[in-house]
Amino acid sequence: MSYDKKLTILLKNFNKTQESLARELGVSFVTLNNWLYRKKEPRESNKKIINELYTKYTGVKKSGKNLLEEKRNIVLEKQKQHKGIVPLLKKRKDLFDEFVLSLTYNSNSIEGSTLTVKDTAQILFDGVTVKNKSMREHMEAKNHQAAFLRVFEHVSKKEKINEKTMLSLHQILMNSILDNAGCYRNHGVRIVGSGVVTANYLKVPELIKGLFKEKKKDILSFIPRFHADFEKIHPFSDGNGRIGRLLMVGMLLEADFPPAIIRQEKKRKYYEYLKKAQIKGDYLALEEFFLDAVIEGYALIDSE
């Protein structure tokens, strides 16, 4: 893998700025910028430092053929370093709460919530009613927290993530928000602005059952594909995105990976890659995006 790509991974996946990375490499901002944009090639001594730093943060000693393979290698190496994610989160309430906050804030924000991170934290952990914010937004935050707790409890008991789990999560997530919380939609829906054709509501139960029966041979490929297909079916009248992301979290925890954190700032790319998977059947960009989100989860663990 080229040095500019290694440097890009360090910047994008390990919460580094160009200034901080340049300091760790012992070079100037300008020099690092030249390497990133391939204006100059690092010297052999610099290449050695880049490789050492890359291995330190990613755990990967042998580079993959492409970015997708490389990010998969990073996730698998991180998994070796952090075995027992569920026991860790049970033991570390501070870390558990960080995941609750990040997942709740970002997932609701992707769906249009105007709550800030601070607002969300006050609602979740202090029971505060935030001024000038709707009651629905307050309920969405508390309900998402409760739904995540349900997912975590479910996995802790080694119960399978299945259709029944999904319906239960929807009932919790949309409690006192939708009259038909926990029930499939009984009408047609459209994903506004996407051009993606959702399933006929009469076929939803059958399609969902089929989706949960699919084989999970390669979990890191299966989860983003499951997610794209689930969102295309769009089984509920509302709450599909949040439920889809909660199911991803549950499947990751089952496989001893941390929750994937899809940040609201990446919403445009997230929707773009979902659409590409749903319309063209090309899941590669979504899979790489998903791996980035899992690496974000590991970064949260490493930062504590």
Question: Quick check: is 73 in a domain?
Answer: no
Task: Identify whether residues 18 and 151 lie together within a single domain.
Answer: no
Report the domain count for the chain: 2
Question: Quick check: is 78 in a domain?
Answer: no
Task: Identify whether residues 232 and 149 lie together within a single domain.
Answer: yes
Find the domain containing 102 and state its range: 85-303
pLDDT in tens, 115-170: 999 999 999 999 999 999 999 999 999 999 999 999 999 999 999 999 999 999 99
pLDDT in tens, 83-101: 999 999 999 999 999 999 9
Question: Quick check: is 76 in a domain?
Answer: no
49, with CB counted inside 10 A (0-12, 13-18, 19+), is: middle
Domain finish residue from 22, 43, 58: 58
Task: Identify whether residues 156 and 295 lie together within a single domain.
Answer: yes
Task: Identify whether residues 11 and 91 lie together within a single domain.
Answer: no
Question: Quick check: is 241 in a domain?
Answer: yes
Query: Which two tokens mark 199?
Result: 């399933």
Task: Identify whether residues 148 and 228 lie together within a single domain.
Answer: yes
Tokens 């070079």 correspond to 27
pLDDT in tens, 35-73: 998 999 999 999 899 988 988 888 887 777 788 999 999
Phi/psi at 82 (5° precision): -125, 70
Nearest CA to 78 out of 99, 112, 55 is that of 55
